[in-house]
Amino acid sequence: MNERHADRPVRIVVFTGAGVSAESGLATFRGVGGLWADFDPATLATPAAFARDPKRVWDWYVSRYVGVRASEPNAAHRAIARLERTFPSLLVVTQNIDRMHQRAGSSKVLELHGNIWNARCNACGREVDMATLVDIADSASDSPRCGCGGRMRPSVVWFGERLPEAVFEEAAESAADCDLFIAVGTSATVYPAAGLIELAARSGADVIEVNREETPLSHLADRVLREPAGEALPRLVDELELDPPTAGASLAKRE
Ligand code: BV8
Ligand code: ZN
């Protein structure tokens, strides 16, 4: 953390991926038991896949929605929400579509890849609550339609689709301007999201990586916590609350 921000409260960005929700019982994408082990992302999480077989893609998202709705935030989500109480400027930037951060009490959450709680019409863009569509689709031979005749799709960002511009811009500005960037439970392989870690490191922020495993961007971290987020985050938050990082004080020395 360099001197550049000595005159203001410490700014923290927490960047999360599927690993932060693993201890809530939600499958991650990669790795053993990951979603991509059974399904090829290209055949389910792309506009082409939806055009080819809308019912199959719809049903897959309905099954994930039902799983997310039945799950609860875990100790990692709760610790991040707690940290916001000590650092009100804290921002959560997530790749997850499960809204676990908001359910745990985080108030400032940027959803880079949308969310699974809403669906929108592929034609007119009308957005509705997924719950209103879930129980009618399963018996139907087709995925639900909008009043305009368009197809309803989950409000997520598929591969090959642009991220919501304003959301990504705000995330990039915050990553480039923060003092502490904590990457939790992400394999750092999907772009442009993973580029935020590179941007934060390049901009002089201290980077902490919380991940059970090494990632392609681990070398950018000043500190790594190689353990489950549900164990690492509560302890890290205790530490940051007890001894808040001050501008100029590098975290690396805290080993
Ligand atoms: C776009 C929503 C352009 C849907 C998702 C540059 C280089 C290479 C490729 C590209 C590039 N730029 C763009 C691309 C293409 C592509 C991409 O990145 N491909 C990858 C596969 C190489 N990117 C895109 O297509 C993006 N769009 O570029 O548009 C454009 C521009 C203009 C106009 C039109 C288009 C859109 C990408 C978003 C796709 N949607 N999700 C859905 O969920 O179904 S991505 C989805 O996969 C997630 O959101 C997330 O981003 C990603 C999964 O990654 P993670 O969350 O990190 O999860 P993963 O399982 O991989 O890892 C979990 C980690 O947690 C592991 O490291 C594990 O060790 C750890 N872990 C596990 N348990 C725990 C734990 N850690 C701690 N505690 C635990 N308990
Ligand atoms: Zn419509």
Task: Tell me how far the alpha carbon of residue 221 is from its chain's centroid.
Answer: 19
* 99 Cα: distance to centroid of ligand 2 (angstroms): 25
Q: Is a pLDDT exceeding 70 seen at residue 111?
A: yes
pLDDT band, residue 34 (cuts 50/70/90): confident
Distance (Å, whole) CA 65 – CA 186? 20
Measure 254 CA to ligand 1 centroid, in angstroms.
30
What is the pLDDT confidence band of residue 142, given thresholds at 50, 70 and 90?
confident
CA 86 distance to own-chain centroid: 21
* Burial category of 142 from C-beta neighbours within 10 Å (exposed 0-12, middle 13-18, buried 19 and up): exposed
* pLDDT of 251 above 60: no
Who's near 192: CB < 8 A, 6+ residues apart?
163, 168
At residue 123 the predicted structure's pLDDT band, cuts being 50, 70 and 90, is very high
CA 61 to ligand 1: nearest atom: 44
Q: What is the pTM of this model?
A: 0.95
Q: Is 227 in the pocket of ligand 1 (CB under 6 A)?
A: no
Q: Is 244 within 8 Å of 221 (Cβ atoms)? A: no
pLDDT bucket at 206, cuts 50 / 70 / 90: very high
pLDDT higher than 60, residue 139: no
Q: Please name the amino acid found at residue 126.
A: R
Cα–Cα distance measured from residue 87 to residue 90, given in angstroms and rounded to the nearest whole number: 6
For residue 223, the model assigns a pLDDT of 97
Is the model's pLDDT at 148 over the cut of 70? yes
| Choice from 24, 28, 155 to test ligand 1 binding pocket (greatest atom count within 8 A of CB) | 28
Residue whose CB lies within 8 A of the most ligand 1 atoms, among 190, 198, 211, 215, for a mutation test: 190
C-alpha to C-alpha distances, 166 to 53, 110, 112, 117, 207, nearest whole angstrom: 31, 10, 10, 20, 24
Write out pLDDT tens, residues 75-110: 999 999 999 999 999 999 999 999 999 999 999 999
Between CA 144 and CA 136 the distance in angstroms is: 8
What pLDDT score was predicted for residue 40? 76
User: For residues 94 and 111, is the Cβ–Cβ distance under 8 A?
Assistant: yes
Identify whether the C-beta of residue 181 lies closer than 8 Å to the C-beta of residue 207: yes
How far apart CA 109 and CA 171 sit, in angstroms, is 10
**Element holding 180 (H helix, E strand):** strand 180-184
Map residue 16 onto helix, strand or coil. strand
| Helix (H) / strand (E) containing 176 | helix 165-177
Question: Residues 6 or more apart from 90 whose CB is under 8 A from it?
Answer: 11, 12, 13, 14, 80, 83, 84, 108
* Summary mean pLDDT of the chain: 91
pLDDT of residue 67: 96
Distance 235 CA to ligand 1 centre (A): 27
